[in-house]
Each structure stands twice: as C-alpha cells, then as structure tokens.
C-alpha cells in the first residue's frame, strides 16, 4: 500500500510535468507534489527556462506545511546554479521528512549529487518508481544533455504504396485536414522544424505553429541549402516574428546572396565540409550549441534519406493515407542506394499506431 501511495502521487507530479511540454526546453519536464498527512500541501512544475523549478514552486505553496512532509518529484533536484538557484537548497530549507524521486538526472552536473546532498541532510530518499515514464517524457532532454545534439524526429506523409508525391511532384494534400491539424499540434512540442531547400522551393511553406493550443509559441526554422538557392521573396520571410530562421550552406556559396539573406533577418551559417553536401552532424552540433534540443524534420526526401542513412533520426512519425498513387517516377520518402539484404534494412522499434480520420499514424524509434 505504501508503494501504491508513492506511485499515486508521482503520477500526479508527472501530470504536472506534462504541462511543460514544448515550453521548458532545453530544460527537462519536471513536476513536484508536496503531501502532508495525505493532504496535498503544494504542487508545481517547471514552466519555462528562467522560471522557478517544480520543487521550489511546490514548497512555496506548501509554506509551513513543508516541514515533515513528503515531496514527490519526477526528476532528481539540481545542485548547481543556472538561471535559477539550486533546488536542493530549497528542499533542505523546507525540511521534509522524505523525498520520493522518480529518476536520476543524467546531467553530469547533477547526476546522483542531488540525492547525495539530501541524504546527507538526514532526509529519507526513495528512488526509482515510474522511471520508464520519465525516460519517455524526457527523451529529448536525455539525449541533448548527454550528447549535446538535438533529438531528431522525422515526419512524413505517404500513400498506401509509399509515395510522398505524384510523378509531377504534386503532394498537396496526401493526408486529411484533421491530420494536418494534428501535425501543427505536434510541431509545438519542438524547438525547431527542419527542411531541405527543395521543399522550400516547391511548397513555399511558412513552417509556423498555427494550432490554437500553442498561443505565442516561437519555432526556429532550419533550411539546408548547399548552394543558397533560397528565394528572397519566400513566404517564410514574412514570419520572422514567429521564430528565427537558420540557413546552412557550404563555404563556396555566394557571399553576396548570404548578405542579402542576412539583411532580410536570416542567420546564414557556412559549414566546412569535405564533400559536396552539408555535413549533417556538424549541423546538429551547431544547433546544440544554440540550445536547440529537439528538431522535427518535415522533408524532403533527400534530407530524410540522408538523416536515416547516417542514423541521425531518433524517432519517426509516418502518416499513411488510403490512396494509391503509383508511377515508378513518383518519389518515395526513403531513397538513396538502398540495402542489398533484408537483414540490413532499418527496423523500427517500440511501434505504436493510431488513426485520425482515414489516415493511420505509425510511430516508431530507431
């Protein structure tokens, strides 16, 4: 019964942490609940960078009831100064009797140090309940804080026969309007969206978040453009108030064109490369340094193929529409050389599916 009670309150803390999705990046999603004599005395979640952390808000709300209480926290409290003071200090000042922590923080600055400090103060610590839940909720943060590159999710809409467009490259719209609305809802969970220059030239997209649930959400837009073919009248240039635009290109691209794009408000990044195409790993490390922790890749086929072949994609969403397009020249989303043997093919793990209208969503991990 005691364990069930701990799990019950941790589930509440996780429900709070979920509220931070899409807003707290590059920080983790964390929730906290303070309980005294089976009554919730305080609660909180970390809303955005620079705002108080979950534990701080929970103990502030609990006030004098914090003493001899039990605190339920989804992630190990921090011990270092960032934009806010260490959460461990708040816990020690509040003097709870027990702290139940779901998972350790993989950040090297924190890992096991928070728990150690709490225990050294004579406070009981319990660890490990719902740890898998934390791994799923904070999958983006875990990769970013340990590898210093963003978590990469690919999104693609295909027909039943695996085509992303007709032989004349018509693709609007393979999926239904409700599916496209869901994609805007999904976009809001990310720091940035990425496309290749061919998608920009063909579709002239805005790449903004237009779902009402996201309010004033700003989304960085990333365009890979080896030869700076970016049109100076593209629709996306009218959306700079809704997020930065980064264009990655090769050193041999026109400096004059780069300057023209910069005057429009775009950040042009020249990346050295030993090949005739942009080094995708260098792009990801550059984005990591800008504290971009998650990227949704929306096309086109060349970019998706390169990312998949270089095994840089962590998760994929495939929406399958009940259409048959046909035509050997109609593009599929995964191109390249392909594999010789089935055993060498890319295989999805942890598959899940759901349906919107007549479209089927397949989510899987690599």
Active site residue 120: no
Dist CA 187 CA 179 (whole Å): 12
With H, G, I as helix, E, B as strand and everything else as coil, classify residue 70. strand
What's phi and psi for 103, nearest 5 deg? Answer: -150, 155
Q: Is 132 helix (H, G, I), strand (E, B) or coil?
A: helix
Catalytic residue of the set 11, 18, 55, 120: 55
Strand partners, 39: 36
Q: Which residues form the catalytic set?
A: 55
């Amino acid at each position: 019964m005691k364990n069930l009670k701990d799990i019950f309150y941790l589930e509440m803390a996780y429900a709070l942490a979920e509220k931070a999705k899409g807003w707290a990046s590059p920080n983790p999603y964390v929730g906290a609940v303070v309980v005294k004599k089976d009554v919730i005395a305080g609660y909180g979640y970390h809303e955005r960078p620079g705002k108080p952390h979950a534990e701080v808000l929970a103990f502030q709300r609990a006030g004098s009831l914090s003493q001899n209480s039990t605190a339920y926290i989804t992630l190990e409290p921090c011990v270092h100064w960032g934009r806010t003071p260490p959460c461990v200090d708040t816990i020690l000042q509040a003097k709870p009797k027990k702290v139940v922590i779901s998972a350790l923080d993989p950040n090297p600055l924190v890992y096991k140090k928070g728990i150690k400090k709490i225990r050294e103060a004579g406070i009981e610590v319990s660890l490990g309940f719902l740890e898998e839940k934390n791994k799923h909720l904070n999958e983006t943060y875990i990769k970013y804080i340990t590898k210093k590159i963003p978590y990469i999710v690919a999104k693609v809409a295909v027909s039943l026969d695996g085509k992303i467009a007709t032989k004349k490259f018509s693709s609007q719209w393979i999926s239904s309007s409700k599916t496209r609305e869901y994609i805007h809802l999904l976009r809001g969970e990310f720091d940035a969206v990425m496309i290749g220059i061919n998608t920009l030239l063909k579709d002239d997209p805005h790449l903004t978040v237009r779902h009402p649930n996201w309010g004033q959400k700003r989304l960085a837009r990333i365009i890979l453009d080896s030869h700076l073919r970016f049109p100076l009248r593209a629709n996306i240039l009218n959306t700079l108030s809704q997020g930065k635009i980064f264009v990655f290109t090769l050193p041999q691209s026109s400096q004059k064109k780069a300057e023209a794009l910069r005057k429009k408000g775009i950040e042009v990044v020249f990346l050295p490369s030993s090949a005739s195409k942009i080094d995708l790993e260098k792009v990801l490390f550059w984005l990591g340094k800008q504290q971009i922790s998650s990227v949704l890749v929306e096309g086109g086929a060349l970019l998706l193929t390169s990312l998949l072949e270089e095994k840089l994609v962590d998760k994929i969403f495939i929406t399958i529409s009940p259409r048959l397009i046909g035509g050997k020249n109609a593009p599929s989303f995964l191109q390249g050389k392909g594999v010789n043997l089935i055993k060498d093919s890319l295989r999805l793990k942890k598959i899940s599916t759901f349906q919107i209208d007549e479209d089927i969503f397949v989510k899987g991990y690599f």
